[in-house]
Amino acid sequence: SGEFCEVQIDNCGSNLCENGGTCIGYEDHFKCSCPVGFEGERCELDIDACLLNNISCAPGALCFYDEENHRSHCVCVFGWTGKTCLENINDCEVNQCQHGATCEDGINKYSCNCVPGYEGPFCEVEINECSSSPCKNGATCVDLSGHYSCHCTAGFKGETCSVHMNECLDRPCWNGGTCEEAISGFKCNCPFGFSGQYCETEMNECDSAPCLNGAVCQNDVNSYDCFCPEGFEGLNCEINFDECTYGFCKNNSTCLDLVADYSCVCPPGFTDKNCSTDIDECSVKPCKNGGHCHDLIGEFYCSC
């Protein structure tokens, strides 16, 4: 410009370049030298520096350009790694799964697939299979690893003790006992002379000492015998036998019944146990002066 065109116009005078671009002036125009990451006539366009370096970061990753080293790199989101963030980090390498659980890798996480009997994020909690009360009819539940076991009460069977058994079908009662089915098992009604759960024990009827008065008891099947001592009779030798009924006492003597014995009270003139012997009153020679003694029953007289 100027009257004589002596003044050169500075086309960069208005600082037309943006974003740190360097302006280069020419006679009739200018040009902006843009830093990496920008383009356009005035460096007004922000471009992906990674594309310039043939780096394609995975979706979600951020691309950064290191101006000092003139290099681009990808900053990965959690769970991914690698130059372009396309490699999934195996989170199972540091898993805390317990009790034989299988680790399943995810994106920036993992999950534990528990074996039966365990639960929780890390399968750390053992499940109490008995908590649901699976055992029936009074059975005892035993918690095991991954399952349970039922200890059935008498009369029941099956995995949960829900099947009622008719135990009388096996004829458990002995010695003629009759089986009676019950809810909790069975009952044997034993015939006389037997006892026990199965009527297996023969009762010794002599154990109750039924024989009296010193009698000897002999046990028998469903019965007993008493061998009575002299003077007693009856099933249990309970009767004192009246020996006086046999008429042992003679000559109008009085009979006294004793225990296993008798006693005769003799009238005058008789003696011995049965009063059968006539007493000889003349044996003591009661007659004097040559008198003759005549023995009578209970008395005597003298013939002088």
**CA distance linking residue 12 with residue 29, whole number of Å:** 9
Per DSSP, the three-state class of 63 is: strand
Residue 32: its H or E element: strand 30-33
283 Cβ contact partners less than 8 Å away, ≥ 6 residues apart? none
**CA distance linking residue 37 with residue 65, whole number of Å:** 8
What digits encode the pLDDT tens for the residues 248-287?
899 899 999 888 788 999 998 888 999 998 888 888 788 8
Domains of the chain, earliest start first: 129-164 (2.10.25.10), 167-240 (2.10.25.10), 243-303 (2.10.25.10)
What pLDDT score was predicted for residue 226? 94
Q: Are 137 and 157 in contact (CB under 8 A)?
A: no
Q: Are 16 and 25 in contact (CB under 8 A)?
A: no
From the list 104, 149, 143, 103, the residue with the least C-alpha distance to 126 is 143
Q: Percent of the chain beyond pLDDT 70?
A: 91
What six digits make up the tokens of 72? 């681009």
What digits encode the pLDDT tens for the residues 210-258?
999 999 999 887 788 999 988 888 999 998 888 888 888 998 999 998 8
Taking the CA atoms of residue 9, residue 14, residue 16 and residue 22 in that order, the dihedral angle to the nearest 10 degrees is 70
Q: Find the length of the chain.
A: 304
Per DSSP, the three-state class of 167 is: helix
What six digits make up the tokens of 221? 């099947």
